[in-house]
Amino acid sequence: MAMQVGGRGRMLADVNVTPFVDVMLVLLIIFMVTAPMMTQGLQVDLPQTRAVSVLPKESDSVVLTVKADGALFLDKYQVELGDLEGQVRQLVTNQKKQLFLRADKAVPYGTVVSVMGVVKSAGVDKLGVVAEEEKTAPAAPAAKKK
C-alpha cells in the first residue's frame, strides 16, 4: 500500500493491485494445469453391455473399483478387503451416499460376489454396477434383389 502526502495537509492512500492480479493469474494457471489431472480415474477394463446409464458426477456417490489384480479402491483410495466393511459404512451408509461398483472384466466372479457381500453387510441396500456401452460393428447394407 502506498501513501503519499498531498498538498494542503491531505494524505492520499492508493492500493496497488498489480501484485494481487499477478498472484491470481499464477493461481489460475496452476488450477488450469492441474484440473485435468484430478479427473483421471483408475484404469479398469470394464465389461460391455447394450444398455448403459451414465455414472453420476455428483458428490453424493462413491465408486468402489476392483482392479484386475484384485486391488480394491474406494474412489481413489486403496482399501483392503478386511477394512472394506468399515470404510463403506463410514463413507457410504452413514453419509447416505450411493455406491457404484466398477470391476475389471478379468476379475473372477467369486471375488466380485464376495465384495458385494461385504458391501451388503455394511448396510448398502442399493448397489449400482458400472459397465461400458457395447461396441457393435455397423451392419452391412442388405443387397437388393432383382
pLDDT value at residue 28: 92
- H or E, element range at 115: helix 109-121
- Residue-level pLDDT at 13: 76
Question: Helix, strand, or coil here: 103?
Answer: strand
The pLDDT, as a whole number, for residue 29 is 92
- What's the angle, vertex CA 40, arms to CA 110 and CA 93, rounded to 5? 55
What's the pLDDT score for residue 33? 85
Domain co-membership, 74 together with 24: no
pLDDT at 26: 94
* Rounded Cα–Cα distance for residues 83 and 76 (Å): 15
- Cβ atoms of residues 80 and 129 within 8 Å: no
Do 92 and 124 have their domain in common? yes
Q: What is the mean pLDDT of each run of 10 residues along the chain (146 residues)?
A: 59 82 93 73 60 62 88 89 90 86 87 90 85 62 52
* 61-66 vs 98-103, strand pairing mode: parallel
**Domain span holding position 6:** 2-35
* Claim to verify: residue 54 and residue 103 sit in the same structural domain: yes
